[in-house]
Amino acid sequence: MGHTRLGRLPRTRKWIQVLDLIGDGAGTPEVAAATRLASQDGLSKAEKDPGLVHAVWLLAQVPLAAEKGNFAERLQRVGMAVSKDPSLFEITGAFTGAIDNHLRQNKGRTTFSFSLSF
C-alpha cells in the first residue's frame, strides 16, 4: 500500500486543515477525523463510479466462488476468463481483464476507475 501515486491533494480548506494537523503533531484520531471530513465529497462520488462499484462487486465474488464447488466455472460466470485450475496469477490477471472489459462496455475510465489497473 502507498506505492500508487494518485496526484496531489486538493487545495481545499479541509485538506489544508488535515496537513496542518499533521504538521502540528496531532494524534491519529484527530487526523483521521479531519481526513474523513475532507474526503467525504470524493467518497460520495466514488460510490457512484461504475468501475469502482464493479471492482468491489467482483472482489466479493471471488470468495463466494471459492466456498462452493466449481470455482473456475463460477469465476467465468462473473466475467473472469480463467482455466479449469487457475493459479493466483491467472486469477489476478482475469480480475483485471474483467474490470477492463466492464469499463470498455460502459462509460470507460473515470478518475476512480483509472487507478483500478493493477
Average pLDDT rounded to a whole number, residues 30-37: 94
User: C-alpha cell of 90?
Assistant: 491467472
65, 71, 116 from 68: Cα distances, Å: 6, 7, 27
Query: What pLDDT does 114 receive?
Result: 53
Question: Do 101 and 83 share a domain, yes or no?
Answer: yes
The torsion of the CA quartet 92, 80, 103, 100, rounded to 10 degrees, works out to 40
Give the closest residue to 115 by CA, choosing from 1, 15, 5, 41.
5
Question: Do 65 and 87 share a domain, yes or no?
Answer: yes
Question: Do 73 and 22 share a domain, yes or no?
Answer: no
Q: With a threshold of 0.85, does the pTM exceed it?
A: no
Question: Do 66 and 31 share a domain, yes or no?
Answer: no
Report the half-sphere exposure of 23 (CA within 13 A, side-chain side). 6
pLDDT in tens, 55-106: 899 999 999 999 978 999 999 999 999 999 999 999 999 999 998 898 888 7
Question: Do 40 and 82 share a domain, yes or no?
Answer: no
Question: Do 31 and 61 share a domain, yes or no?
Answer: no
> Is 4 part of a structural domain of the chain?
no
